[in-house]
A and B are shown apart, each in its own frame.
Chain A
Amino acid sequence: MKLARFLLWEWRVVNSMAPPCQVRVPIASDGDIIVARQKGRALASELGFSSTDLVRIATAISELARNVLSYAARGEIRLEPVNCRNRSGIAIVASDAGPGIADVEQAMQDAFSTSGGLGLGLPGVRRLMDEFKIESTVGQGTTVSATKWCRR
């Protein structure tokens, strides 16, 4: 009985301490864009982001997920809490095995697009987030990572 109580207590403590963990959302249809941004918003809200940052994060996820869908047809959005020097934040990683970006510098310019979009996607996302990185290999795919830090 004592052991059972101890285990229950321990289970509660471990549960209450468990940090919010990584979320992976496969992107294969336009409904998945909404799922990804809702999950990102929920995770960011748990991490204590302000309401303005929640909208910034959800919008960034929306843009990145749509890029995956329109350039590569399918891919994945990974959302994870990150920690660095007592700061907490959220990392969004959008990856696909699509055609890749031939000229990343050009893709980062406002008003450049090859799929008839607005061409604002990537530079806009960079402005919404604190850190931004693209890795792309033609014929192998693209990974965009963006991080937002929580203001205290």
Chain B
Amino acid sequence: MMVPILKQGHFLIATIMAALSDEDMRQFREALLDRVVTSRASAVIIDVMAMDVLDSFATRTLREIAYMTKLRGARTVLVGVQPEVALTMVQLGLHLEGVATALDLEEGLAYLDRLNRRP
């Protein structure tokens, strides 16, 4: 299962289209970090709208991605977390501290634009 990663200006947009196995998730992490390095992107948007489950492994991997891209000087914005998924994550005790989130792709782009415009 490949996760398409598109470049738009200085941003990378990765859209997870279906449930990913742990191995797919690890491959996605490597591929995304590779792209952050080669494209010199300043931000990454990860769209998880199609994910019906964000369990401890997926959450940890997303947190790792966010931290690794931060070390490369780029930001990560997670968009599209479904309300039921958010509720379950909170009950399960999963945290995404330090990861910016936005409602959807549009809001994610608007958030990054606002940050860029700030002097």
Residues of chain A at the chain B interface (Cβ within 8 Å): 30-31, 33-34, 37-38, 41, 51-52, 54-56, 58-59, 62-63, 66, 110, 117-118, 120-121, 123-125, 127-128
Q: Is the CB of B22 within 8 A of A128?
A: no
B64 contacts partner chain A, Cβ-Cβ < 8 Å: no
Residue of A nearest to B82 (CB): A55
**A58 cross-chain contacts in B, Cβ below 8 A:** 52-53
**B106 cross-chain contacts in A, Cβ below 8 A:** none
Q: Is the CB of A55 within 8 A of B84?
A: yes
**B96 cross-chain contacts in A, Cβ below 8 A:** none
| CB < 8 Å neighbour of B87 from A52, A63, A123 | A52
**B14 cross-chain contacts in A, Cβ below 8 A:** none
Chief secondary structure at chain A's binding surface: helix
Q: In the complex, A41 Cα to B23 Cα: how many Å?
A: 22
The verdict on A55 contacting B56 (CB below 8 Å), with A120-B94, A124-B92 known, is: no
B38 contacts partner chain A, Cβ-Cβ < 8 Å: no
Q: In the complex, A38 Cα to B19 Cα: how many Å?
A: 10
Q: Is the CB of A123 within 8 A of B93?
A: yes
B72 contacts partner chain A, Cβ-Cβ < 8 Å: no
| CB < 8 Å neighbour of A34 from B21, B54, B85 | B21
Residues of chain B at the chain A interface (Cβ within 8 Å): 19, 21-23, 52-57, 60, 82, 84-85, 87-88, 91-94
**B91 cross-chain contacts in A, Cβ below 8 A:** 56, 124, 127-128
Q: Is the CB of B87 within 8 A of A66?
A: no
Q: In the complex, A123 Cα to B87 Cα: how many Å?
A: 16
| CB < 8 Å neighbour of A31 from B21, B52, B56, B88 | B21
A69 CB, min distance to chain B CBs, angstroms: 8
Q: In the complex, A84 Cα to B33 Cα: how many Å?
A: 50
Q: In the complex, A41 Cα to B52 Cα: how many Å?
A: 10
B23 CB, min distance to chain A CBs, angstroms: 5
**A118 cross-chain contacts in B, Cβ below 8 A:** 56, 60, 94
